[in-house]
Amino acid sequence: MGSDKRIPIFAANWKMHKTEVQAKEFMASYLDLVGDISGREVIIAPPFTSIPCMGGLIEGKEHLFLAAQNMHYESHGAFTGEVSAQMLTEHGVSFVILGHSERRHIFGEDDGLIAKKVDAAISSDLCPIFCIGETLDEREKGETFSVLERQLSEGLSSVQDDKADEIVVAYEPVWAIGTGKTASAEQAQEAHAYIRSWLGQRFNSTVAQRIRILYGGSVKPANIQALMAKVEIDGVLVGGASLEPQSFLEIVNYN
């Protein structure tokens, strides 16, 4: 497990999967199977349409939190198809995934836009799960650290020290997302250590030590133990393997 000081996070990113009925079915079996969880935080990020019902389902469950998969940076206005932070917090959402590689690569979100969203989330008391990661091409060219450096410095450009520990960083190498190809625990640890040292220079070092850094990219029951054994890996962001209660719980309950 990661550092004792940082409570590990197990986050389910459902992407565009599950209707409201299916989300309720998942939660019914999850809650049935979960048992006692302590010292771990579990975050579910369903599609927007299931957020209202999920708010009620997680109420009173201390280890469970709700996340959105995206949001707009303005509080309201003529932005067809968008959702604001306030619309999310009203339903008990406490985290928001920002800068996911699918948002960056499919929907063209750039570092500047993501920075505005990070800012807006923090001002609305939503904790950003700020995603960064290199493509295969960038890794092969030896650019991994410079890509992470750019994404971190631009995406977190206006975050102040006193708010920095509200951020969760997710390192998700693009080549490992949804491909079945996980970064080795060593590759993940190396990137996490780089991110931690960058955070230590950008923010006060005590604060930087409190920021949780998750790994994402083909996490499954078979590799969770090796990943969590690394000291800088404070949890995981899980896509495919979070869609079934059984496999997600095997990840949450790894030991």
Active site residues: 100, 172
What's the rounded Cα separation, in Å, for the pair 185 and 54?
32
Residues paired with residue 10 on neighbouring β-strands, in sequence order: 42, 236
The interface region with ligand PGA, picked from 31-39, 117-125, 142-150, 217-225 by CB under 6 A, is 217-225
- The residue within the footprint of ligand PGA, chosen from 216, 223, 249, 254 (CB under 6 A), is 216
CB atoms near residue 110 (< 10 Å): 11
- The residue within the footprint of ligand PGA, chosen from 168, 219, 224, 251 (CB under 6 A), is 219
- Write 119-123 long-range contacts (CB < 8 A, 24+): 119/73, 119/158, 119/159, 120/71, 120/72, 120/73, 120/74, 120/75, 120/85, 121/71, 121/85, 121/96, 122/159, 122/163, 122/166, 122/167, 123/85
What's the rounded Cα separation, in Å, for the pair 237 and 97?
10
| Residue in the shown chain whose Cβ atom is closest to ligand PGA | 239
Return all residues near 37 (Cβ < 8 A) that are at least 6 apart: 63, 252, 253
Residue 235 engages ligand PGA in binding (rule: CB under 6 A): no
CB of 242 to ligand PGA, least distance (A): 7
Residue 41 engages ligand PGA in binding (rule: CB under 6 A): no
If the CB atoms of residues 165 and 172 are measured against ligand PGA, the closer one turns out to be 172
Q: Where are the beta strands (DSSP E) in the chain?
A: 9-13, 41-45, 64-68, 93-98, 127-132, 168-171, 212-216, 235-238
- Measure CA 36 to chain center: 23
CB of 126 to ligand PGA, least distance (A): 18
- The residue within the footprint of ligand PGA, chosen from 6, 9, 13, 138 (CB under 6 A), is 13
Residue pair 157/116 in contact by the 8 Å Cβ criterion:
no
Residue 184 engages ligand PGA in binding (rule: CB under 6 A): no
The interface region with ligand PGA, picked from 35-43, 84-92, 211-219, 246-254 by CB under 6 A, is 211-219
- The residue within the footprint of ligand PGA, chosen from 54, 87, 233, 237 (CB under 6 A), is 237
- The residue within the footprint of ligand PGA, chosen from 133, 155, 240, 245 (CB under 6 A), is 240
CB of 99 to ligand PGA, least distance (A): 11
Please give the DSSP secondary-structure letter assigned to residue 81: T
Residue 52 engages ligand PGA in binding (rule: CB under 6 A): no
Residue pair 197/169 in contact by the 8 Å Cβ criterion:
no
Residues binding ligand PGA: number (CB under 6 A): 13
What's the rounded Cα separation, in Å, for the pair 54 and 20?
9
Q: Which of residues 142-181 bind ligand PGA (CB under 6 A)?
A: 172, 177-178
Residues near ligand PGA (CB under 6 A)? 13, 172, 177-178, 216-219, 237-241
